[in-house]
Amino acid sequence: MRELLEWFVQILAPAYVVYTLAATGSAVVERCGVLNLAIDGLFVLSSSLAYTYAVLFSALLQGGAPATWLSLLLTAATVALLYSLYTTLSTVLPVSQGAIGLSFMFIGYGLGAVVGNIGRIAFGLRGVRVAYLGAGHGSAASAYLSTILAVTAVYLLLYKLKLGVMIRAVGEDPRLASQVGVSVTGTRLLTGLLGGALVGLGGALFTLWRVGGWSQGQGLNHGWLAYAISIAGWRHPPLVALVSLFFSTAYVLLPHLQRLGLPIEASTAAPYVTSIAIMVVVSSIRGRSRLLADPKSLGRAFFREEQV
């Protein structure tokens, strides 16, 4: 029992926090109708940015603790801006969201490697870890708590405030929303900021808590794992947080399957296969209530003046 508790605290906490934040961010972005194909690239970029910010500030401030916190905030802010660029760009121009999303994915991968390497070449390879988020029980408990609080806040925003209603209206029918005076671009810009900040936080914590260091390619595919969780939670924050508990556990445990005699390649592939499987299973459930249904305009180009 005690061991299980220990495991929850030490091993699961970082994974859970990372995936839940990123998946909630992705859920918010897709709720406004923008297909989130950028997520994996921008997740990789977040995890690299966090490293470089952290080593930069710890050199500047000559101390670890404030530097990592600063890095966390700045990463969230940078990625929020990039995400809002992504959501805005795919709204103001009637471009294929898929193509813009893939471009951002590739740019995110490449830029992530560049940014991380800059930090690494300038300051050397070193461990970075959010000072407060050590191994203690208290810190893990408060990390769980803050994640739950963040998810609750997003939930309230999405379902209890006007901004959230605007986000969902734009995700359902942007033309109609714009006819009643909702600014589609403005709403998607704000949604990009919010969702991007969450993905950025997730990616940053991946480096600053789960890994505690950096190497090129770090975070690759973990964005997709978060994406799968957001789909599995039907893009509904509390549900995302709930299913994330299950899938974070799976993602953490599956790579250990090789201890049971499975080939290492199978345990590496297991999280990917699991992600695909949950997306398929969950998407095949029909007749969902209005709060859980897929946003109607998801992935469709928005073109204001249209005569049919």
Partner 1 sequence: MFFPSSQPVLRVVGITKRFPGVLALDDVSLELYPGEIHSLLGENGSGKSTLAKIMAGIYVPDRGSIEVSGRSFRFLDPVKAVSYGIVYIPQSPSLVERLTVAENILIALRSYGILSSMGRVKEAVARRAREMGIGIDPEAEVGKLSYTQKQIVELLKASLLDAKVLLLDEVTTYLPRPLREAFYGYLRLLRSEGRTILLITHKVFEAIEVADRITVMRSGRIVGTVERSEFDADLVRGLMFGSSASLNHVDYLPEGEPPRGPTVERRPVILLDDVWAVGETGGHALRGVSVEVNPGEILGVVGISGNGQRELAEVLVGLRPVERGRYYLDGIDVTNKGAKAIRASGVGFVPEAPLYYSLSGDLSLMENLALAEQGGGPVLSLRPLAARVRELIEKYGIAAASPRTQAKVLSGGNVMRFTIARELESAKKALVALNPTRSLDERFALSFVKALRRSSRLSGLSVVYISESLDEVLRVSDRVAVINSGRIVGVYSREAAERETLEKLMVM
Partner 2 sequence: MVRVSLVVTKRYRERMITSTPAILTVSLVLGLVVSYLAIWATVGLEPASFFATFYQTLASYSGLLEPFLFLTLLGAAISVAFYGSYWNVGAEGQYVLGMLGAMYLVMFSPLSGTLLEGDRASAAVVKLAAVILGGLLGALWSVIPGFFKAFVRVNEVPVLLLMNYVAYCLSDYLTGGPWKGRYTYGYIRTDMIPEAARLTVVPGLEILRYEVAVAAAAVLAGVYLVLERTRLGLRIKVLGTNPVALRSLGYDDRTVILTVAALSGFIAGLAGALRLLGYDYRLPYNIGDGKTGFYGYTAILVAWLSFRDVRLLVPSAVIVSALNSFGYRMQLSLKGLLPPGVSAHAFSQIFIGITLAVYTIARVARDHSVRLVIER
Taking the C-alpha atoms of 246, 264, 110 and 83 in order, what is their torsion angle to the nearest 10 degrees?
-10
Binding mask 273-302 for partner 1 (x = CB under 8 A): --------------x--x--x--x------
Nearest to 230 by CA among 112, 116, 144, 151: 151
Q: Does 176 bind partner 1 (CB under 8 A)?
A: yes
243: Cβ contacts below 8 Å, ≥ 6 apart: 229, 232, 233, 278
Q: Does 163 bind partner 1 (CB under 8 A)?
A: yes
- When computed from its CA atoms, the radius of gyration of the chain, rounded to whole angstroms, is 19
The answer to whether 65 touches 131, Cβ cutoff 8 Å, is yes
- Total residues interacting with partner 2, rule: CB under 8 A: 57
Q: Does 186 bind partner 2 (CB under 8 A)?
A: no
Q: Does 144 bind partner 2 (CB under 8 A)?
A: no
CA distances from 248 to 22, 23, 225, 236 (A): 12, 11, 9, 17
Q: Which does 135 bind (CB under 5 to 8 A by kind): partner 2, partner 1, none?
A: none
**Least Å from the CB of residue 28 to partner 1:** 15
Q: Which does 280 bind (CB under 5 to 8 A by kind): partner 1, partner 2, none?
A: partner 2
- Report the largest interatomic distance among the alpha carbons of the chain, rounded to a whole angstrom: 66
Q: Which residues bind partner 2 (CB under 8 A)?
A: 35, 37, 40-41, 89, 92-96, 98-114, 117-118, 120-121, 215-217, 221, 224, 227-228, 231, 263, 265-266, 268-269, 272-273, 275-276, 279-280, 283-284, 294, 299, 303-305
Q: Which residues bind partner 1 (CB under 8 A)?
A: 159-163, 165-166, 168-169, 172-173, 176-183, 186, 190, 287, 290, 293, 296, 304-305, 307-308
